[in-house]
Structure 1
């Protein structure tokens, strides 16, 4: 969810729809095409702004699994500015991918982007779907899928915050609630930011089987990537908007942290940690390195600074991917207060585990 949506205060009275769904939806198992030994997975980005976790987590998880050829694609060559922080360089532009893979991708992953109606992005989505790719919308990447015309008469979901917009703009889609992800044939859509990790494991399972997904899940600290989710529990309300506005307007309390980008860095945990801290409305996070750095999965991160210049290091980082949000939210509550931690959790559409919630409750005055 983009922070500008919060400042604009566009959230109205929520509407809820529900349709019958399978108890445990799964993507169809991968069927090899074109003599490929492994499927080709594209994670597409807009250069101007693409959601950090939506883009980095699926790419990092799929590459770590080693079960597919995973290509980071952007509209144009050059840097991709991620929101709310960090910058990367894609492997190829859309035109370069189309030239090198005329048969298309087997899976296309679409994160939330700045402009979900960009003609070039929509045409690429339509083209890849027509070539037989399974298309996956992470968080409000679903809006691009809807604008591309892929969701008419189909079941889908998205970030809770865009619910009213989706219902109004795309009444022909069967919008689902309380689902971490929804599978309808070769289409998969997910709930908010935090759904990127379980959805990525669901894709690993479709490609390489449950045992492989479970093995990788244990490495990441994830033991459940089912569709179970309570999206209706998330709301900002008056307190959330007041907290966001108060944090944003009190500039003298803003902080800038440095995150050191080291070769081989775990991009999955990095994305989750930075995404949480950069959503407080009083924190900026800058990547620091003397030159571009390749992460553990081979994703090229472009630093914003060559040295920290005395900036404090971003807190946390000594946990596995599944624990990252809990660690970050507890630290945010301790530093900025429980209201800010709750604001961040709502944006991430993330429910803390019981131990973390108890820790945060103890911080309340």
Structure 2
């Protein structure tokens, strides 16, 4: 097992009020469980051992914002509970529509619980875009019957940043969640999204984009559990890798035996833009019911030669044509971000990663 002394040192450096018994219990649980290793199938392509080499100062949250841990289930959850620098527990009352998005502060280690009561509507924006060396975000979200949630998760952190996020969602009867996740930055990023379609009529619409560059590593794991009849899931992820970057996607959809009339579709498409880049994508589908409509698949490729030829024949330089096609590929996901400020920020960051970005920005 890795030497995790740096985490204990970071904890002991917290102000005394922050080193509560609940936090210490969480730290002990993390130290006992340790970081997951690449021997585990779920972590086969993502090595977290570099976290153990970070200096203690890189692990510290903002001390003045340190709050009490709110429970944990495994080692990484316990790690987040021990160091949580900001926590939110919010309930949206029944039949209430919250027009202003919920935007938790971008702190080193965030921990959130959000509960939408029957018929409530809200938008949540989770941001892990700072330059801090190591940040974690764990969120538990519950949607009661008929509730509606729009969720945007954005990671465009600095090139040396390490990010771990996990979102657990539970959807009751006729509840609906529209989720967009975007990873454009960081040295190492792992995101887990677990969705429980627990009652009839629940629906999840999920769009994701991961575009690591340089030597960045981005790993997305999604799990959608169809537990009840007449539930719907739509999942579209797009990956773009260039330079020596590495992308990982694993998407599991499981249809339980009582989940008749399930309607599920998962589509993964990937662009490899450099010889040294790599993407590992694995869509998975398990069906234990006999009256369902399900489809899934993954594609890998490079930019279309005919489309490149067409754009060049219209006078565009090759580099600009390539960048425009790459942007078009990514836009299939970004168009689902309805907050103009967030979509604009993501657009600018993505364009900066492409050649001839000034010309492309002029076209927007």
Which structure has the greater CA radius of gyration?
A: 2
Between Structure 1 and Structure 2, which shows a larger proportion of strand residues? 2
Scaled by the length of structure 1, what TM-score is found?
0.26
Q: Pick 1 or 2: higher relative contact order, CA cutoff 8 A, min separation 6.
A: 1
Between Structure 1 and Structure 2, which shows a larger proportion of helix residues? 1
Scaled by the length of structure 2, what TM-score is found?
0.26
